[in-house]
């Protein structure tokens, strides 16, 4: 199929909004971007466009159900929602867009989903994984920050600001926030998937990340058998692609181009 530059795709009874920058996923290597727990396709800003310019690859960005202009979800979300996204929704989406080869790039929840997919499906189309501020286990600092943002959401203008990016802002916020603050979620642990990833991984972590510590990086180094590159972004918090966009873009581009050189060979126009 030939995808228009933007629109909606019907996946598992949900309409998911998307953007496609550059060549079709059926025709060229593609970076598939998975947003954070309060993100959406639009909240990536111009980073997908800059990434496409820098790499020459196609870039596919979408909003998961419950976010952006995608269909809402029934609340409360199941506590294994990230595994369901990684093992059920994402494979169907990749098939639907004609994805043949490329890289998964995830931020926060999206990074966790990317890691689960790479380790849990053995998807040979995935040639590398970019993880920005990933979570593999629940840390005290994560829960404390997520509890604090709930207060902020309910007492300040944050709700109004987020409503610019989400058609149903309460569905987006509470679907994520309630799950993470559920006491049973403290047992959430996806580190077992890391041992089954068979492609190169890069982790980008803000030095001042308020939602996770260097422990997440240590877990990846302990559990992964694949190559794991780590870049700590000085001065950045949980969103280095916004807070240190230039360095983050350069680091990801270098990683992606090395993968392209291996898999696409000298004939690739940029390699």
**Cα 262 vs. chain centroid, distance in angstroms?**
24
For 107-133, write each residue's pLDDT tens digit: 999 999 999 999 999 999 999 999 999
What CATH fold (topology level) applies to the domain 6-264? Answer: Rossmann fold (3.40.50)
Share of the chain above pLDDT 70, in %: 97
pLDDT at 178: 98
State mean pLDDT over 70-76.
98
Q: Is residue 91 over pLDDT 50?
A: yes
pTM of the model: 0.96
61 close to 18: Cβ distance less than 8 angstroms = yes
Looking at residue 265, its pLDDT comes to 66
Domain residue extents for the chain: 6-264
The band of 270, judged by pLDDT with boundaries at 50, 70 and 90, is very low
pLDDT at 100: 97
Q: How confident is the model at residue 263 (pLDDT cuts 50, 70, 90)?
A: confident
* Positions of E strands within the chain: 6-11, 14-21, 30-34, 58-62, 102-107, 126-132, 201-206, 228-233
C-beta separation of 90 from 113 below 8 A: yes
pLDDT in tens, 14-27: 999 999 999 999 99
Report whether pLDDT(226) > 80: yes
């Amino acid at each position: 199929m030939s995808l228009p530059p933007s629109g909606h795709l019907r996946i598992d009874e949900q309409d998911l909004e998307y953007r496609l920058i550059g060549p079709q996923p059926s025709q060229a290597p593609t970076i598939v971007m998975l947003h954070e727990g309060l993100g959406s396709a639009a909240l990536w800003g111009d980073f997908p466009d800059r990434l496409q310019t820098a790499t020459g690859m196609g870039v596919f960005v979408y909003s998961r159900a419950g976010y952006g202009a995608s269909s809402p979800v029934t609340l409360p979300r199941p506590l294994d929602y990230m595994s369901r996204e990684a093992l059920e929704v994402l494979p169907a989406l990749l098939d639907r867009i004609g994805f043949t080869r490329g890289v998964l790039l995830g931020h926060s929840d999206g990074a966790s989903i990317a890691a689960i997919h790479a380790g849990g499906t053995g998807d040979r189309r995935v040639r590398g994984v970019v993880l920005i501020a990933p979570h593999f286990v629940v840390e005290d600092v994560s829960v404390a920050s997520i509890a604090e943002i709930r207060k902020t959401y309910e007492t300040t203008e944050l709700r109004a600001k987020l409503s610019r990016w989400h058609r149903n802002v309460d569905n987006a916020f509470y679907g994520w926030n309630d799950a993470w603050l559920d006491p049973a979620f403290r047992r959430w642990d996806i580190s077992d998937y890391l041992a089954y990833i068979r492609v190169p991984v890069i982790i980008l972590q803000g030095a001042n990340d308020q939602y996770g510590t260097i422990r997440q990086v240590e877990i990846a180094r302990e559990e992964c058998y694949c190559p794991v590159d780590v870049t700590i972004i000085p001065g950045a918090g949980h969103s280095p692609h916004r807070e240190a966009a230039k360095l983050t873009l350069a680091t990801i581009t270098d990683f992606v181009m090395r993968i392209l050189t291996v898999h696409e060979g000298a004939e690739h126009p940029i390699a």
